[in-house]
Structure 1
Amino acid sequence: MARLLKGVVIAAAFSSLAACASLGGGREASLRPPVVTDPAPIVSGTMRPYQIRGRWYRPAEQPNYDEVGLASWYGAQHNGRPTSTGERFDMNALTAAHKTLPLPSLVEVTNRANGRRVILRVNDRGPFVDSRIIDLSRAAAEELGLLSQGVGEVRVRYVGRAPRTGGGTPMRRAEAAAPSRPTPYVQPATPTAPVISEASAYWVQAGAFSDRRAAIRIADRLGDQASVQDIRRDGQPLFRVIVGPWPDANAAEQARQAVIARGFGDALLISGG
């Protein structure tokens, strides 16, 4: 296999996430939502009906909003860009995008797979993909345990108006037994290509691109297990974005479906055998 051009992206440190949370303190914050005594005004321009890809969305105050659906996340490719409220998107802050809730507001998001729960500041519109109900910042995805898989089922509950700044708060983490001899992850000085020549190894190919920079941006979007592979087709350089590996076809197929849900409908399974 050709040498990978992109190494594993290391997730942001938990301490930096805590620094981004303006209310509630540390990771063992109260199970109660934060009390907002000086709410930010709703940005009036974000409450007008709008149309995306032929579909109309009608934002409204929804005090009883409580919905289950898929969450995705967005990171470096949007970092620093203005959100719908005019705030700058910070991928390391606990924020989110929603199609119709007031901006800015607070929501409680629960990962239904592991029970992790977090309060997020909603300051942007999206995601405009069928079946997805909320788009998370990178920090929010990491807090909920969704960073590597990209898409997961969540419950979203409207909490209320957001403070003038901040509002993101870790609320609860899933309980897990600590290993007797934990082995810390050590990043290699020079990233090395995983071995995929064994028949038991599977990868997902999200796509192949002639532009290396475009391939790297897509790999960043897909998370920690994505990398870029330099190959040649008909004598021309090509940059393939792959995600994995997984030890069996069932796990790889689940990952492929997650990649498809992120907008890569031509994602393929690749066997190392």
Structure 2
Amino acid sequence: MESEARGAFRLLRGVAVAALGCAGLAACATPMPTRLPPTAQASRPHAGSPAPGSTSGLRGTEKPYQIKGIWYYPKADPGYDERGVGSWYGEQFHNRRTANGEIFDMDVPSAAHKTLPLPSIVEVTNLDNGRKMQLRVNDRGPFVDGRIIDLSKAAAEQLGYGRAGVARVRVRYIGPAGKTPFDQPRMIAAAPPPAEPRSEPRYVPPPKPRVYAGGLPPAQPAYDTPPPPKAADLDFAPSAPPTPLVPAEPAPALSSAYRVQAGSFANRDNAERAMAQLGGAGEASIESIQRAQGVLYRVVVQAGPDEAEAFGVRDRVAALGFSDATVLRP
């Protein structure tokens, strides 16, 4: 009896061992999953570009982004030179932040591009009239088929298509821009070239009033430069000599005169250095502008009452190194 029990025990043990062996073989024969984990399935949109949303090795303004279902891949392109349609944007985005965090001012020349690095400097030429200027790219756009660049309202007016809204343009990449709109090393010329001779007389603003000890002013000496405008050219013509006064500040420009803005600076010392470079362009001065971000010091050059003359002054200012020079209308 005892031998039969031992035999049955051996039989049961053998069956159990066999069952365990089969289970192990079944586990080895089970196929591996064919679906990779989600992190392993991510692929790059195209060779050399990171996956959308990736921040590896990229600055903030170089990240790919999506607009209306289309992905854009910002990158530096030193040889960028393209022709197409340019447009402009203004009041709807005025005082709002741009793609690189600056405050958009429609009255200051600037530009938006879909893929060039932010900030960059580009040269934009209006192919319809030949006007061209260099602009700071600090925003993204335009996202309309066929358009290659968006300009601020001021820039579009300078290039002559403010009223039309669009124009045929050429856009050429110049290089990276400074970190801020007021940090432009190209704004100050190291050695300004001599002013070109002009055959026509240059507009000269009225001189400051003087205080004389006697009742009548002394005889005026001869001037090498053209005399100041006559009283009939001013907004008023007094019937008698006014009482002489000593002004606390320089007399403001006539409301009917154009001015050319050479640049705006957060630091007054920089503004004064810029003004010193503008002696060959005309009468320059500094205006303080109070803004939410602080005081800006705007350097302007008087340009006279004629629009064509004003654009001529702007060209002279640009030739002295102020490529963002803008004509300010009366």
**TM-score calculated relative to the size of structure 1:** 0.45
**TM-score calculated relative to the size of structure 2:** 0.38
Structure having greater relative contact order (Cα 8 Å, sep ≥ 6): 1
Which has the larger helix fraction? 2
